[in-house]
Amino acid sequence: MTEPSNWITAPWKASKQWLRKATASRSVPTMVPIRELSERHRARIQAHLLKLDPSDRYLRFGYAANDEQVARYADHLDFERDDIFGIFNRRLELIAMAHLAYTPLQDYSNCAEFGVSVLKSARGLGLGTRLFARAVIHSRNKRVEMMFIHALSENTAMLKIARSAGAKVQRDGTESEAYLKLPAAGIDTKVAEMVENQFAEVDYHFKKQAKQFWDILADVQEIRQGVRDGRHQSAE
């Protein structure tokens, strides 16, 4: 089996160089805040998935999922069993998310399946790759030994991420299976995840505070405009 590349075994060292190549066409921050999502983010997750156009839904779910099927998927996400990660923009819109799914079967407790979706407006920033690297660190810390990716063979972006990480990809007609053997966790992965979690929490807090401020300011300006209009009408 192909050994994992350096950015998987030591992502904090290789990320700058690797990301510079992956995102040469667009400027991105050195660190991307990736937040672990919970039950309270379910509505934002559903909104994100519903924004995917038909072709993106087809690639993400493997079939042409309609709104009802997408909503059902979001409604049945198990936050107690699985791990879900997201990237928010400054308006707290979820622009990219990853789903790490686990099985309750004891014989496969050391395995996880990775799925990712990125809005078209956020393409070309390497966010899918960032989410994959984040999921790998988290999986290693949870003693996951094998990560699987089930994707349509035409989903070249996802398969490219897998191959770049050193995953073995097997094609079976219109579908492909990729699997990546993960090295054991160490103090490096635990520290890396701790730092990323803290960075993401601080970033989300500031974005939330900024959004609240602009919302309040917009309300105040609307009230002021209403007062001005009322005075103008009274003076007529």
Residue 86: name the closest of 137, 42, 147 by CA. Answer: 42
**How far, in Å, CA of 11 to CA of 9, rounded?**
6
Residue labelled with tokens 């992502």: 11
| Three-class DSSP category at 201 | helix
Q: What is the pLDDT of residue 25?
A: 39
Q: What secondary structure does DSSP assign to 79-132, as a single string?
A: TTTSEEEEEE-TT--EEEEEEEE--S-GGGTTEEEEEEEE-GGGTTS-HHHHHH
Domains of the chain: 6-235 (3.40.630.30)
**How far, in Å, CA of 27 to CA of 31, rounded?**
12
Higher pLDDT, 29 or 122: 122
pLDDT in tens, 105-159: 888 888 999 999 999 999 989 999 999 999 999 999 999 999 999 899 999 989 9
Q: What is the pLDDT of residue 9?
A: 43
pLDDT in tens, 33-78: 999 999 999 999 999 999 999 999 999 999 999 999 999 999 999 9
